[in-house]
Chains A and B, each alone.
Chain A
């Protein structure tokens, strides 16, 4: 299995809702990432998990809460989002965070719309 699977593919939520994005990989990768991507912009790093521990939080607002239940799963819990949080949320995984391996495998993303 060489894929990163993200669910749901599309999500519309109100500003008072609580929802979760899910990401799963079975490639044995020990680093997992959440990126946010706005239209015509590059992916912007949000969080990094290395060996199931949060290693990087890029000053993301607390309304985004990541969770890594095990080495294959990564969740992003959403609460009280703002319309400007509407974006494509990408999950990725890789073998290492700090070694020379170049390749990240990305999921197809969750297209989030906050209304």
Chain B
């Protein structure tokens, strides 16, 4: 079964500095991978997704992620943090085969942006 590991449950960054959130996955097949963002008291919103096309994926709000199969990683980055980036971020891996629609969620990274 697939699984996701997100280290650093809490991440603090200064406004204007880079953001890096790490995600490692395990899967028997080449998965699809997603990053979702959850702002306080809101639902989850798709940030970006990898679906076996380009390994460098660009998402909304200046975020991007790079799929590295050899490292089983899908780290999320942003060159310059903004106050509005304060939120919780979830890395998610897709099912291993068609018909199994159960995503595997990481436990999340809570990002705090310091002015």
Question: Does chain A bind chain B?
Answer: no
